[in-house]
Amino acid sequence: MLLGRHTGRNNVFLLDCSFLPSYTTKHEYREAFALFDKRGTGQVPRESLGELLRSLGQNPTQAEVAELEKTVGATFNYDEFLTVLNRPDGWKPAGTADEFIKGFQVFDKAGNGFIGAGELRYVLTQLGEKMTDEEVDELLKGFPVQDGQINYHSFVRSILSQ
């Protein structure tokens, strides 16, 4: 059922199709899945599930990925992937800027909004959801470091805006 309204000008009739599944979204899902289907078999290895989800803007924790990996076999097809992607309990938001900033304040000994670049690297690679050194390098690429210090307020806002 298409809902619409006549604009009265030039016999234009506007249709409201917002209730239809988004072609763009489905196309993006299919395209992302195809990128991870390296052999062209219609199957993606279980180990790629977290990366595939993140490529589509989801932010599962490592623990969530481990749980989700239990729901698929050694490989999974596109329909199985859609089931995981559209899970009934949804996805947790990544967190707010204020929540991340409060976390970094613990390491801000001077209380000036800055932490050492080495300390930031340590936090990101050793605590919580651990990142690899390569991931941290990519994250910090092009980010200003002043006297070995990083403004974590700007850092958080920059990362969350990507």
Say what the pLDDT of residue 108 is.
Answer: 92
Q: Which CATH architecture has domain 97-160?
A: Orthogonal Bundle (1.10)
**49 pLDDT above the threshold of 80:** yes
Nearest to 75 by CA among 52, 42, 28, 53: 42
What are the sequence ranges of the domains in the chain? 1-91, 97-160
> What is the chain's length?
162
Cα distances from 81 to residues 25, 39, 46, 49, in angstroms, run 14, 17, 10, 8
For 106, the 3-state DSSP assignment is coil
Query: 44 phi and psi, to 5 degrees?
Result: -120, 140
Share of the chain above pLDDT 90, in %: 46
pLDDT in tens, 63-112: 889 999 999 999 999 999 999 988 877 777 667 888 889 988 999 999 99
**Residue 143: pLDDT band with limits 50, 70, 90:** confident
Q: Which CATH architecture has domain 1-91?
A: Orthogonal Bundle (1.10)
- Ranking 9-18, 41-50, 135-144, 145-154 by mean pLDDT, the lowest is 9-18
**36 pLDDT above the threshold of 90:** yes
The answer to whether 1-91 and 97-160 have equal CATH topology is: yes
Q: pTM for this structure?
A: 0.54
